[in-house]
Structure formats: structure tokens, C-alpha cells
Structure 1
Amino acid sequence: MATAMYLEHYLDSLETLPTELQRNFNLMRDLDQRTQDLLKQIDGMAEEYLSSVRSLSPEKRTQKLDSIQTMFSKSKEFGDDKVQLAMQTYEMVDKHIRKLDADLARFEADLKEKSSAIHQKSDSDSGKKNKDKDKKKRKKEDFDDEIPKKKKKKGQQSPIPEVVPTIPIISTLSITHPSDVLDMPVDPNEPTYCLCHQVSYGEMIGCDNPDCPIEWFHFACVGLKMKPKGKWFCPRCTEERKKK
């Protein structure tokens, strides 16, 4: 679009150039023809003067020489006018060349400015995408913190269990009891948790006893509606702690 605009303006400025050049060239050709005719007259007068100089009186000689000198001066004027027209024609063309150079410089500057704006926008979008990725990563980490860990042996680090694709759907249905998932397909390799020995679903809580054999429990199975503050121990570990 910008290219078309610059080109249109430049072509508009060139519209009268051919006519002006043609006029100047015609004038230059006319001056050249006058000069040639005048030089022929000067040659004729010079030959006539040389052939009759001995018979001419001093006054006649002076008049003849003055006439030839005047014609030479006139020829010089024609030549000067021709040179002026040539310089004017050159300046006329050079003006359009300078205008073209200036338009090209402005066009390149516009391209660089637009390119810079596009790069800045791209960098901004990239930064936004990175922020979105970081945000999604933090959300995933927060979600992973809520996923129960597999049963562990003493002295081993608890790995995070695999989450089946149906877990988010189960959560949105607000399942609160193991019986709600009995009819759902269960991966036989999926680990079980809680007192009900079912797979993970809904909201779960981990026992703060590092030696707890079960470790993760469904809220409904242990009578919870929200996560309690501080440490929490499952019913079995609570009984064992009371015995101690």
C-alpha cells in the first residue's frame, strides 16, 4: 500500500516533465540553427572583406569589421542561451532524481519503522505466551500438589500416581462417595487409596504420618468437607497415636 502511494505521487510529479523537456530541446535546436545560419553569414562577410580589403577605405574597413564583430557577439549570445537551456534541462531532470532518492529514503525508513513495530509486537506476544506458559505451569504444579501420591515403602520417595483422563470429569461431578465410581471403567494398574480401596477421585487428603500404610484418603470416607488446618492424621494413625 505504501509502495503504491509513493509511486503514484512520483508519477504525478513526472506528468509535465516530457512536455518541458520537449520544449527545451526545441528551443535549443532553434538556437543551434540560428547560430549555424549566423556563422555562415559571418564566413561570407569575412571572405568578402578579405577579397576587397585593399580597395576599402579605412572607414569602410571599420564598418565591415564592426558588422562581423556584432554578428560574432550575436552568435555568442545564442550559444550562451543554448548553454542556459541545457543547464535548465539538466536541473529539471536532476530535481526529479533527487525527489526519487528522497522518496526512496522515506519509504525505507517507513519499512524499517513498521518492521521494528512488528518485531516489538512479536516480542510482546512472545512474552505474553511465556507468561501464559508460566501461569499454566504454576497451575499444573498446584494441581499436581492436590493429586495423591502412590504408596511408598519406608525410606523411599513417593512418586506421583498416573492420573486417568476421567479424573477432571469426576471432579466436576462432585463425587463424594466410592460408590459413585463403581460403574466407571478403572485401569487395573491404577493404584488404590483410602479405607475404601478405590482409585483417586474428587478431593483427597494425605495423612501426615510418614509411616501411614494408606497415606491418601477421600474426604467423604474420613468425614471431611474441606481441608483442615495444620496436620491431619487418618483414623487408623490417630488410634495408634492414642495407644502410644
Structure 2
Amino acid sequence: MSATDDVDRSSWLSGYSDTVEALPIELQRNFTLIRQLDDSAQELMDDVASKSLCLMNQKTVLSPKERQQRLANIGSLLNEVLKRGEEKFALAKSTYDTVDRHCTKLDMDLQKYEDEQLIGPTMGRPSTGTSTAGSDKRPEKEEHKRKKRKQTRGRKKGIAPEVDEGQQQGEYLSAEDAKQHAQSAISLSNLPIDPNEPLYCYCQQVSFGEMVACDNDECEIEWFHLECVGLRTPPKGKWYCKNCAELLKIKQKK
């Protein structure tokens, strides 16, 4: 590695560090504004509820003009609530885009750094058995990262540890809860999603809420949202998705 490369990397790290350090301040500002808008919208809604109740319980007969004025005032308050909601959405989207932009840049730079680490040592050298072995390490590294990610996500999402004996199920969802989750999944699909974000589960959505991992190492989907598989709580033992469970039954019959 040349001195120029060291200087470039040092310069990049310094610049990126400054950007990342400023990120929490920007996010905190956005979250504070969102909270203020939310409080303001709630005050307006309380005012709407109060005036609507007053209008409905009005004992004296109002003239059509006065009644129209009160309704117009309530409508104006509701329009203000709608504006607060639109501002909150714009701030939330801006916050998402900011974080997504930083994550994408970091992913690209890390990939570039890994590529340099793999390619750099072999530059200008003849092809040997050692260099070939080095090139074969990448898939092993990716597989290790996949396993590590699986273990990490299990801890983060509260997945129960494996149990050697038996397959214990968690508490199942009611039909009403499952219906509500389906509606939530539909709403989630309308949100902007990072194209690089991996998709999971039967619903093919990003990771959210509590998730459970299929204990079949060869499972194509691997991770599932609890609600999508009809569970309310994580299973306390080994758990297999319906696809892998069917495959295991077929193998056992053979």
C-alpha cells in the first residue's frame, strides 16, 4: 500500500467521521420537529372534539348561517390537522432518506475496502496456489457473515435458543390478530424500501417486529415474521416453516 493510499484513506475516514458525528444531531432535530407537530395536531384534534360535542349538544336552535360558520371552523381545524400530518410524513421520509443515504454509502465504501484487501495483495504477483486459495476465501467469508448475521438477528429479535429435543410451538395468533397483521403488512409495502434491504418471510417484506428463524439450515426463506406464521410469541424449541416441515415429513417416511 502506497503512502498516497494511506493519505486518501485517512482523509476519507476523517470526512466520513465528521458526517456520521453530525447525523445524530440532524436526526434528533427531525424527531423533535415530528414530536412538536404531533403535539400540535393532538391539540387541534382535542379542539375539534370539543367544538363538535358542543355543536351536537347545543340546546338553543342555531340559525343556518351560524351553524354553517361553526361547521366551517371545525373543517378549518381538520385541514390544519391534515397539514401537520403531511409535514410529519415529509420529515419522516427525509429522515429515512438521510439514514438510507449514509447506509448505502457505507456499504459501498466497505465493499470497496474489502475488494482492495482481496485484490491488493495479489497485484503484480504471479498466479500461485496461495493466491488461488486466497480467492476462494470470499465465499467462505460470505457464508460466515450469513451465519453470524443469523445468530445476531436471533438475539436482537428475541428468538429462543435451540432445544435438542422436541419442537415446541409458541402461542398462536387469533384470526382477528392475523387479519390486523395482514393489513399492517400491506401498509408496510407502501413505504419506501432500500432496494438493497433483504426480504424475508412468506410476505416478502423487510425485517420488522419479532421474527423467528427456521431451524432447517437449507431453508430458502430462513426468517419469518411471527404474525405471518400465526405465532404470538417465539417458540421455545426448534421450529420449522411449513415448507421445511413438509420436506422433513417426506424424508422421514422414506
Higher relative contact order (CA 8 A, sep 6+): 2
Asked which structure has the greater CA Rg, the reply is: 1
